[in-house]
Amino acid sequence: MRQYIFRRICVILNKLGMMDLSVMEKLAINNFLRHLRIDCGLKKEVIVEMINYAKQKKLSFITYLIHAKKIDSNYLAQLLAKEFLLTFIDLDTVDPSQLPIHLINENLLQQYQILPLWQDNEKLGLAMVDPSHQVAIDDVRFSTGLILEYIVVEAKQLTLMLGKLRNQSTILNQTSCKLDLSVGSKSRTEDVNIPPIPLNNTTEDEVAIINYVYQLLLYAIARNASDVHLEPYQEHLEIRFRIDGLLYVMVVLPKYLIQRIITRLKIMSQLDIAERRVPQDGRFRIQDAKGRDVDCRLSTCPTIYGEKLVIRILDSNKMLLEIDKLGMNEVQKYEFLQALNSPHGMILVTGPTGSGKTITLYTALNFLKKSTVNISSVENPVEIILPGINQVNVNSAVGLNFSCVLRAFLRQDPDIIMVGEMRDQETAEIGIKAAQTGHLVLSTLHTNSAAESLIRLANMGIPTYNIAASVHLIVAQRLVRRLCIDCKVEDKLPEKVLYKLGLIDDEKNKIKIFSSRGCSKCTDGYRGRTGIFEILTLTDEIRKLILQENSALEISLLARKTGMQTLYLSALSKLKQGEISLLEMKRVTKD
């Protein structure tokens, strides 16, 4: 009875990762030897001889039995699990791509015939063929710093699994070497100087993963990608780049690389590599081919095939943040600057996700930035680091939301306040109040047109008299792809199409419309993006309509009569100038 209780305590201690197997060895070895005599028919003299031989070779008795192959390996593994009170696992049921093998040096895996099966916070499940190998256990515990839970596996299966992983490591190195990072004929991988990366006890395949991920990010930066999507599927990992607003498949990798690449990126972002059940967000910084710092924002999301990662590349080196570069025409630029030069009031930038609102806001802040003014911004999260601005990240976990930060700003003697988004009534009310009390407030809303933003504020519970009194200007915008100047070709359009575009007879003979063709310097005939804008300045007439609670359509019609250029007309203007194609115009505008 005492022996049974002691064995149960040992099982519990192992589950808690607190079991030193040497404690169990004396208990297990006698029963183990008894099974060898009874079940396997080995005489006591033969067993003693084998024990002595193992000692001469400086091997444990169990390791000697495995190497000698005198007993069926599957029977031996299950017997060891039973006598050492450990779990037995069939490795054929284990997915190699999900193993956290990056945690242990490959040399240790081969030397000790061990394999990490899972990691749960500070605990590591370690597969072994010889659970009495205390040296192996000590080395793994020292190298990982984790609490170990021991699992017994069959020697043949473990050897096959380790061989598979070794072969995959070789393929990984070949895959990394084959990654083509050339853009045009000017930038090639051999010209890229990779900065040294500190390595701690890494194997060759880990170095290959590190280099591969770094080269992949360099390639994304060189291709002017705004986002990198890593999407796991049943049999492969698909990597897509968002270039000029559209996604393109760049690389398809085998399934076994999924977890290793994802783990590397999570380590770079200082995320919990063991947490795969909930989304996580992080940031990291790398150096591009010219040695300049590039900020990257990473987000994870659990899918049925594993974690999907999206990396937002925030390359401030390519963000000129100049009003002339936004794409506004002269009238729009004049109205925008007039509003920015106001001492107080609210300026709203509206549009769907990915329409360039953040760039427009930061361009405005860069224009307003002076040593004589106090500018503060709150975002979720901060996307562009701008020196001279007091930037705050929202942290809802500790109650630091938009409204909380806005209240704090108002006690900090601000001149200009930027709010990442007017998300709720409370934030909007504080923003409106700030605009009415001598502060210039800039923010965004998710609406399709400038006039709809006014209705959105009213629907959030803001009184129309406060909206009319505080809002000065609304900018609705979209991003359109620019035609590549090196390969664009003139497009002969049918007269029906020209009439639909509103081109009169005198005009249609003079205008040249171009379409995309594609060359080595661009992506599908497009290179870069520009903005199209709809700028609504709140005149006295517009304010009267707001106070009368008129619809967005009525406000928009009045604004057009007084000279407001819609998104469609802004796109049409760029089409006439040969800057964008008709297909791109139709893709972005619906009029």
Q: In angstroms, rounded to a whole number, what is the distance separating the alpha carbons of residues 323 and 335? A: 12
pLDDT band (50, 70, 90) for residue 49: low
What's the CA gap between 353 and 462, in Å, rounded? 24
Give the integer Cα–Cα distance in Å for 234 and 306. Answer: 9
pLDDT of residue 470: 96
Q: Which of the four CATH numbers 3.40.50.300, 2.40.30.10, 3.40.50.1980, 1.10.3720.10 does domain 323-479+530-566 have?
A: 3.40.50.300
Spell out the residues 6+ positions from residue 180 whose beta carbon is closer than 8 angstroms to its own: 189
pLDDT above 60: residue 359: yes
Rg of the chain taking only CA atoms, in angstroms: 33
Task: Answer yes or no: is pLDDT of 500 > 80.
Answer: no
Can you give the pLDDT at residue 169? 56
pLDDT tens figures, 202-241: 455 677 788 889 889 988 998 889 999 999 998 889 999 9
Please report how many Cα atoms fall inside a 13 Å half-sphere around the Cα of residue 443, on the Cβ side: 32
Q: Identity (one letter) of the amino acid at 577?
A: Q
Give the domain 192-314 fold: Beta-Lactamase (3.30.450)
User: For 396-416, what is the mean pLDDT?
Assistant: 91
State the average pLDDT over residues 311-332.
Answer: 87
Pairing of strands 416-419, 390-393: unpaired
Domain ranges of the chain: 2-166, 192-314, 323-479+530-566
Q: What is the DSSP string of 296-351?
A: EEEEEEEETTEEEEEEEEE-TTS----GGGS---HHHHHHHHHHHT-SSEEEEEE-
Q: What angle do helix axes 155-178 and 204-222 make, rounded to 10 degrees?
A: 30
Q: Percent of the chain, pLDDT > 90?
A: 41
Which carries the bigger pLDDT value, residue 576 or residue 95? 576
Distances (CA, A) of 45 to 65, 70, 172, 251, 394: 15, 15, 50, 62, 73
Average pLDDT value for residue range 489-497? 78
Provide CB contacts within 8 A for 454, sequence distance 6+. 467, 471, 474, 546, 552, 555
Q: Does residue 382 sit in helix, strand or coil?
A: coil
DSSP 9-53: HHHHHHHTT---HHHHHHHHHHHHHHHHHHTS---HHHHHHHHHH
The answer to whether 474 touches 348, Cβ cutoff 8 Å, is: yes
Cβ atoms of 585 and 575 within 8 Å: the answer is yes
Q: Which of the given ranges, 20-34, 130-144, 239-253, 489-503, has the highest pLDDT on average?
A: 239-253
**Residue 187 pLDDT:** 32
The secondary element (H helix, E strand) that includes residue 354 is none
- Residue whose C-alpha is closest to residue 211's, from 158, 251, 245, 175: 175
How high is the pLDDT of residue 240?
93
The domain made up of 2-166 has a fold known as GMP Synthetase; Chain A, domain 3 (3.30.300)
Q: Average the pLDDT over each of 101-110, 378-387, 575-584 and give the range with the smallest value.
A: 101-110
pLDDT over threshold 50, residue 395: yes
- From residue 428, how far is each of 401, 402, 403, 535 by CA, in Å? 13, 10, 8, 21
How far CA 357 is from CA of 239, 245, 363, in Å, comes to: 26, 14, 10
